[in-house]
Amino acid sequence: MAEYDQDNVFAKILRGELPAHKVYEDEHTLAFMDVFPHAPGHTLVIPKAPSRTMLEADAEDLCHVMRTLQKVARAVKEATGADGIRIMQLNEAPAGQEVFHTHFHIIPAYEGQRPKRPTEMAPPEELAAMAEKIRAALE
């Protein structure tokens, strides 16, 4: 297995070296807006403990992530008015993983709409506004 890269973008977000539009944070997990969203409200949930993939993550860390994932997914669905929610998790480059820190995608889904592959970053003001809506739905 490849070694965990302490300089991956999510590790830098966790250390406060890069900005993120945070939605939820606790002792074990962080949820924030994906800057290349497949749909408005696309949110990521990560463990704070370092692990390259879910296959290498500590089981207890994954339990914390699952609790956060469920909580945030409910809030994303409410905040976006989505008809459904896609949960996506990829392990290693052949599966499509691009950032090598365990993470889960929460992607709002709508009746009659296919998911899109983003080609550009979302405007920061849109991400900030959506993060605020999701935080409000968590309360």
Rounded average pLDDT over 53-72: 98
21, 101, 103, 105: the catalytic one is 103
Q: CATH number of the domain at 79, please.
A: 3.30.428.10
Q: For residue 88, give both structure tokens.
A: 């996506």
Average pLDDT of the chain, as a whole number: 96
Residue 101 lies in a domain: yes
pLDDT digits (tens, 9 = 90+) for 11-46: 999 999 999 999 999 999 999 999 999 999 999 999
Residue 109 pairs in a beta bridge with 84
Domain residues for the domain of 102 are 9-138
Residue 83 lies in a domain: yes
Is 21 annotated in the active site? no
pLDDT digits (tens, 9 = 90+) for 7-16: 999 999 999 9
pTM of the entire structure?
0.96
Cα 87 to Cα 99: distance, rounded to the nearest angstrom: 16
How many domains is the chain partitioned into structurally? Answer: 1
Cα 127 to Cα 43: distance, rounded to the nearest angstrom: 10
